[in-house]
Structure 1
C-alpha cells in the first residue's frame, strides 16, 4: 500500500526536524531551469559520431561508454561537450528555493552543474565536496555541505567525472571515501530523492548500496516523482516503484510538477517544527511587561522551541521569562531552547555597527532556517535585517505592533507578503495588530495557528 501525501510529508519532515534526514538531488531539479537531462546531453553526440538514434529507454550510460571508446578511450571530447552545455547561464528555480528552506545541513547530488551551490550561496556558507580528498574533512565554517558524488563540471578534472559504464562499475573501488560516506549516510539518515525518474541511470549506485544495506539495518527513504501518463510507461513506472519499496524507498507519485514544488515547500515548513525566533530592539524597554507575559504564555500554552540569538532587548525579555516559567513548571529548558551565536553580543559598542550587518545576515541564516515563526517587535537595523532574511527563508513573520510608530507597524503596512499570510492564517490577529489592540494572548493564539496549520 502506497503512502499518502500527508503521511509522506509528515514523516520525512519529522526526519529532517530530528536531524536524521537529507536530500538526494537529481537532474530533474536542474531540468526545471532549462538544463539538458542525461538523454539530451549525449543524444546529439551519439547521433553525429555513432550514427545511432537512441531513445530515453536506452542504456544511456552504456552509450556514454561507446562514445569514449569511439575516441580511443579519450574522455576529453565527451566531457568537453557536456561542459559547453552546462556552463551556460541558468537561473535557479522554485525547487532550489524549497531545498534552501529545508531544515537540513547536508545534501547529495548526482548533478554536474552548479545550480545547487548558486542557490545556497546566496545565504549560507557552503562547502562543496567532489572527491575523496575533501570528503573526509570536517568544515568549521560552512553551514551547508553539498556532496557531488559524480563530480562537478566546474571543480572536477576529467577523471573525476562519473559518466561512462566503466566509471559506474569502478565507483566503489576508485572512490572509497565517498563510497564509505554514502554507506554511512544511507544507514543513519532517511533520504528524500527528488529530481529522479523511473529507471534513471544516476540512481544505479545509490540503489545498489540501499539494497545491500537494507538487509542489515533498513532505514526508510523517500522519493517523489511525476506520474507517467503514457499507459506503457505508467505500468513500467509502477513496477519500478514496487521494486523501490522492496529496498526501503517509499515513492510518492503526483500528477504534475507543480505538485512536487508544493510538497517540497510544505516539507520545508514542517521540517522546522514548532520553532520560534524573536527579534526586536535592545534600546526600547517600554514594552518589557508585554514581552515577559508572551514568554510566560509560550512556556505554559505551547510546545514551542525558542531559538535564542543571544540578543538583548525584546528577545531577551521573552526568552528569560520563557526559561523562568519552564523551570518553575519543572520542564526541560535544554530541550525547549536552542542557542545560536550573535556577532553583536561580543560587546555592546558593536550593536549599532553597520559594518557587521553582512556578518549578522550570514550568521542568522542558520537559526532562521530552523524557525517556522518569527516574532518581530519594534527594532532597528538589526531587526529589519533579520526580518528581511527570515522572509527570504520562508519564515512566517508575526509583527507585534504595540506603538503607532515602529518597525513592527512598518512590517504590516509596507510588506504585502507579511499581510497576506496573516490575513490567510490569523485574520483576527491582523485586525487587532492594525488597531494596536494586541494582548499577549493574541500573539500566542496566532503562533499556535501557524504551527498547527
Structure 2
C-alpha cells in the first residue's frame, strides 16, 4: 500500500538522522502484539472477570484494574505469574523488530517486558546493553553498540515489573535514573514511537517537564498511528466519535513536540520501516572491483578514475564500503580520504568502511568459508553495489574475478541494487548483461536504466563515465 507523501518525507528525514546517530526508538505494547504477544488488555482480562468487571468498559484504566486485582488478593504473585506466562522468553521477534535491529540505532526504549528487541539485536550480531533496573544505569557493557532501556522491567524479574498503580506512584523514587535518562534522550535525539498509546504516566511526566523547560524549542518526535476504520466499530456514530477523539489526541500531542503520522493499516508500519532501511542503505555503496588489466584504458588513467570516484562518492554524501579489490581499492580509498580531509572531517569511519581480506590461511576451504561470510557481512551494510572491471591473473593467465561474481550473487540475495559498470569490460560487462536480461520485475526501472547507460563508454571517456556513475547512484539512492 502506498504511503502518504507526509510519511515518505518523514522516512527521508529519519534515514538522514540515522546516519548521524541522532534517533531513538520507543516501543510500546503494539509492537510486541505484531509478534503474537498479548497486550495489557489480554494480560488482565481474566482478573477483571474475577473482580466482576468488564475489561472493555475499563478502557484506559488498566493500571487501576491491576491495582484492584492486587488489592483483592492481597498479593501480586498472580500478576507476576501472568507476566511469565504471557511473555515467553523464546518467542521469535517480528519482522518489525528485525528491521529495527538491523538499522544503526543506538538507543531503544520500551515499556514492554518481553525480550523481542534484545533477541532481534542479537540475531543482527549486535552487542546490546540491557537496562531494566535503576542500579544498572551507571554500568556500561564493554563493546556495546546499542542500549535498551526497559523502563517497566523485564519478564525475567516479574516481581520488579511496573504494573500496578502502586508501582507507577513509586516510580520517581524507585527508578529516578530512568526518568533522567529518558529526559536526556528525548532532548538530544529524534524519537519514533511505535505501538505506543501515550497512557503511561511516567512518560507523561517527562514530556510535560520537557515542554515546560523548552517551550517551542522542543525536539521534534514522531508517532505512527492507524486511522480508525469503520469496520472496527458497531455503528457510524461510534466510528465518527473515534475519529473526533483521535483528532483531538493528535492536536494535544503537538504540545509535547510529537507529530503523528497517520497510516491506514497496521501492516503499513512494516512498509515505513522498510522504506527507512532502504533509504538509509541506499546512501551506502559497496565498491567491488578487481583489475590486473585495464584495457581499453591504461593503468595510470584508470587509477585517476578510481581516485576521482572515491572523492565524488564523498562529495555526494555516500558512505563507501569496500574490501580494497586488486588494482581498484587503493586508489579509490586514497581519493576518498583526501576529500574527507579537504572537507575538514576527521572521523573517517563516518564515510568509509574498509574491510581488507584476511589472507593468512593454511586451509583453502576454510579461507573460502571465512571470505564468504566476510562478504555477506560487508554487503549487508549497503543498498547499492557497484562493480568495476573484474579480472585477475591466476597462474600467469588473465581470468574473470570469481570473488566479484560471488559478491554480485550475495548482493542479489540480500536485495542490494546492483550497478555493474559494463563499460569497464571483463566480468562487469557480463554482469551488466545478466541484469539487463533479467525478468522485468527483477529490478526497478531506474536500476535497469542506469545499468544500460553504463554498459557502453560515453563520449568523453573516463571523466564522462565517472559523471554517469555518480548521476546513476544519486538517482538510485533517491528511489
Q: Which has the higher contact order (CA 8 A, sep 6+)?
A: 1
Cα distance, 1:405 vs structure 2: 4.7
Q: How has the CA–CA distance of structure 1 residues 357 and 426 changed in structure 2, closer, same or farther, with 3 Å as cutoff?
A: closer
Residue correspondence of structure 1 range 342-361 to structure 2 within 5 A: 342=355, 348-349=359-360, 353-354=367-368, 356=370, 360=374
Alignment of 1:158-237 (within 5 A): 158-197=158-197, 200-201=198-199, 203-217=200-214, 218-229=218-229, 230-237=239-246
Pick one of 25, 30, 33 that aligns with 2:32.
30
Q: Distance in 1 between matches of 2:204 and 2:411?
A: 37
TM superposition shift of 1:59? 0.5
Query: Aligned pair 1:243/2:257, yes or no?
Result: no
Equivalence for 1:286: 293
Q: 1:32: Cα distance to partner?
A: 1.6
Q: Does 1:427 align with 2:417?
A: no
User: Could you tell me how far 1:310 is from its partner in structure 2?
Assistant: 6.7
Q: What is the Cα-based RMSD across aligned positions, in Å? A: 3.8
Answer with 77-86 or 256-265: which moved more: 256-265
Normalised TM-score (structure 1):
0.80
Normalised by the size of structure 2, how large is the TM-score? 0.76
CA contact 1:91–1:115 (8 Å) conserved in 2: yes
Larger radius of gyration: 2
Displacement of 1:436 after TM fit?
7.6
Larger deviation, residues 24-33 vs 124-133? 124-133
In structure 2, relative to structure 1, the CA distance for the partners of 1:382 and 1:31 (3 Å cut) is: farther
Structure 2 unmatched runs, 5+: 230-238, 391-400, 459-464
For residues 109 and 363 of structure 1, the distance between their equivalents in structure 2, rounded to whole angstroms, comes to 28
CA pair 333-411 structure 1, distance change in 2 beyond 3 A: farther
Partner of 1:257, secondary structure, is coil
Report the Cα distance in structure 2 between the residues aligned to 1:129 and 1:12, rounded to whole angstroms: 25
CA distance in structure 2 between the partners assigned to 1:372 and 1:360 by the alignment: 17
Contact between 1:276 and 1:304, CA under 8 Å: does it hold in 2? no
- How many angstroms apart in 2 are the aligned matches of 1:20 and 1:395? 25
- In 1, are the aligned partners of 2:23 and 2:190 still within 8 Å (CA)? yes
Aligned match for 1:5, one of 7, 21, 40: 7
Task: Give aligned pairs, total.
Answer: 433
- What secondary structure, in the 3-state scheme, does the structure 2 residue paired with 1:163 have? coil
1:106 aligns with 2:103: no
CA contact (8 A) 1:61 1:164 kept: yes
- State the distance in 1 between where 2:443 and 2:333 align: 24
Alignment of 1:101-140 (within 5 A): 101-127=102-128, 128-140=130-142
Q: CA deviation at 1:119?
A: 2.1
Partner of 1:78: 79
For 2:431, the equivalent position in structure 1 comes to 409
Residue 446 in structure 1 maps to residue 472 in structure 2: yes
The 3-state SS of whatever aligns with 2:213 is coil
